[in-house]
Amino acid sequence: MTAKRLDALAITVMTVLCINFGLQQIAIKFTLPDISPVMQAGIRSIGATLLLMVWMKYKGETIFQRDGAEIWGILAGLLFAGEFLVLYKALEMTGAARATIFLYTSPFIVAIGAQLFLPSERMRLIHIAGLAAAFIGVFLAFSDAFSSGAATLTGDLLALLAAIMWGATTVLIKASPQASISPARVLLYQLAVSGLTLPIASLIMGEDGVRQWTITSGMAMFYQTVVIAFISYLTWFWLIKHYQASKIATFSFLTPMFGVFFAWVILAEPISLSFFMALALVAVGIYLVNRP
């Protein structure tokens, strides 16, 4: 199947996804006092795996079968789990703004991978310029926090490693037999593998896991599990299957912008004029990347 350029449906769905991914950071922050970060990710993956299996059963899709993509699915699952593990570790060692900037180099990884492994999705110079404009916009949005805090080189490198894993997962799905299976099966591999590995990683890392359950952490975990890991990720992989991966990845630059906005609205964190300048740059970048 030939991947399509972004149409009105894809743009609308991606915008909703970016809003949800931006809110995800708020949900994680609300849960941290009660549940350690990597254990959060593990619990989320386990719950979403069960929901996805129920969904597949409802749709009449066989859950356990040989589909010719097993090895690639396990590899994608390990990349998915590794991304969250190193990202949360990075956040212990570097500032959140710095980590976000390095994480959102991921669309560049996807663009490079598309040049190498996805001939039908190769980008022209104007598209690469749009990618750069969007990234500069993200950097500008976080420039104040980026310049005000000290961070370790190790944390920065871990956040960059998370971006590489995220981008590699996207390219792997498009360039391997995973591209020919259903979005639900693509997601099942990643949720199941991460659901098995992340809780073990949390114990090995010495996290204290679940300290207590409160109404706040319960609602936040429900949002992370049902809305993000099940509904949003299933929709994300549907988009990756049907549309050009490099353009979908570039659109994800909106996520940290929504994250800043919701932190301002919900957590009363300050927002500056540079944020609105950054938003304009991201919009211009997305427009350039999606030009025919």
Phi and psi (nearest 5°) for 117?
-120, -10
- Report residue 121 as tokens: 């999705």
Q: Decide if 138 is inside a domain.
A: yes
Determine how many CB atoms are found less than 10 A away from the CB of residue 66. 6
Q: Determine the pLDDT at residue 240.
A: 84
Q: Determine the pLDDT at residue 74.
A: 94
Q: Decide if 3 is inside a domain.
A: no
Q: Decide if 270 is inside a domain.
A: yes
Q: Determine the pLDDT at residue 268.
A: 72
Contact present, 141 and 257 (Cβ < 8 Å): yes
What residue ranges of the chain have pLDDT lower than 70? 1-5, 94-101, 120-123, 141-152, 259-260, 263, 267, 269-272, 275, 279, 286-287, 289-292
Please state, in angstroms and rounded to a whole number, the distance separating the CA atoms of residues 149 and 145: 7
Side-chain-facing half-sphere of 68: CA atoms under 13 Å: 7
- Report residue 234 as tokens: 């299933």
Contact present, 78 and 193 (Cβ < 8 Å): yes
Q: Determine the pLDDT at residue 154.
A: 79
Phi and psi (nearest 5°) for 104?
-90, 25
Contact present, 245 and 118 (Cβ < 8 Å): yes
Q: Kindly tell me the number of DSSP H helices and DSSP E strands found in the chain.
A: 14, 0
Q: Decide if 1 is inside a domain.
A: no
What's the structural domain count of the chain? 1
pTM as predicted: 0.78
Residue-range definition of the domain harbouring residue 45? 8-289
The three-state (H, E, C) secondary structure of 154-186, written as one string? HHHHHHHHHHHHHHHHHHHHHHCHHHHCCHHHH
Q: Determine the pLDDT at residue 126.
A: 76
